[in-house]
Amino acid sequence: MCEISSAEGRIKRGVEGSRGVEARMYDKIKIIAGIIIFLIIMLTPFWYNSLTGKAAYVPQLKIGTDARQCVENTSYMKSNHMDLLNKWKESVVREGMRVHKTRDGKLYVISLTGTCLNCHSSKAQFCDRCHDYAGAKPQCWDCHIVPNNAVSSRQEE
Ligand code: HEC
Ligand code: HEC
Ligand code: HEC
């Protein structure tokens, strides 16, 4: 406000002065418009997401077993199951070792199809559903045969 009243003072002082003030007002409008545009752009993803519901979407996974626990804890499995599978593969192919001992001492036969897909009995509604969502395309099923139960639940889908 005091900006403006001092501006009035300067307008009275003459044309030169008033040009300077106009220029400064114009700059301010530009800055404010810039801030508004910036905010619109920054906030668009939030509006977009709340309108489309996209951010809230997580694939519905069918765990496929009554077991309460995975071979390792869930958060490890969520982010590291590929590493575990890699270790399993190495263990079998390099060391001929076909038993996995969990941190709490449980033993599992090392088998992608016989163990993972024995609990996760629908590959389609578990592995594939999450991979499709995440854009991951593991090339395992060219060689590893998906057991019948896991395939048929895909057809039922
Ligand atoms: C080119 C064929 C091929 C591909 C592709 C392939 N594997 Fe294998 N995999 C094999 C063979 C052969 C064995 C050894 C089988 C055995 O000795 O029981 C094996 C063994 C394994 C084993 C241990 C034994 C078992 O039956 O599970 C795991 C775990 C495994 N692979 C995981 C994977 C994963 C995960 C992928 C995808 C990222 C994959 N494999 C892709 C051929 C393949
Ligand atoms: C004994 C049954 C069993 C076996 C075997 C098993 N899982 Fe699981 N898995 C579960 C259960 C139960 C959960 C859900 C645990 C929970 O909700 O906390 C789970 C959760 C997961 C998750 C996390 C899912 C999510 O909610 O985000 C992944 C990924 C996973 N398992 C992959 C695998 C892979 C890969 C294998 C083979 C190496 C495997 N599981 C073997 C029972 C099993
Ligand atoms: C909760 C989501 C989720 C579930 C359920 C899940 N995966 Fe994954 N998986 C992922 C993500 C995400 C990646 C990609 C990670 C990356 O690109 O770094 C991945 C990657 C993989 C890879 C490595 C791919 C590659 O090309 O190297 C394998 C193997 C794999 N998953 C196997 C499985 C199997 C088998 C199951 C079912 C028993 C399963 N996953 C269930 C999320 C999941």
As a whole number, mean pLDDT of residues 1-27 equals 64
Q: Is the minimum distance from the CB of 120 to ligand 3 under 6 angstroms?
A: yes
User: Which ligand number lies closest to the CA of residue 139?
Assistant: 1
Tokens for 148, please give them. Answer: 């019948």
User: Is the CB of 138 within 6 Å of ligand 1?
Assistant: yes
Global confidence as pTM = 0.79
- Decide if pLDDT at 22 tops 80: no
Determine which residue's CA is closest to atom 20 belonging to ligand 1: 89
Residue having the nearest C-alpha atom to atom 1 of ligand 1:
143
Closest C-alpha residue for ligand 1 atom 26 = 111
Distance CA 151, CA 121 (A): 9
Average pLDDT of the segment spanning 76-90? 97
Residue 49 near residue 117, CB atoms below 8 Å:
no
pLDDT in tens, 47-64: 665 666 556 677 899 999
Distance CA 85, CA 83 (A): 5
pLDDT of residue 123: 96
**Mean of pLDDT values over 122-132:** 96
Given pLDDT bands bounded at 50, 70 and 90, which one contains residue 155?
very low
The answer to whether 113 and 148 have CB atoms below 8 angstroms apart is no
- Asked if residue 130 has its Cβ within 6 Å of ligand 3, the reply is yes
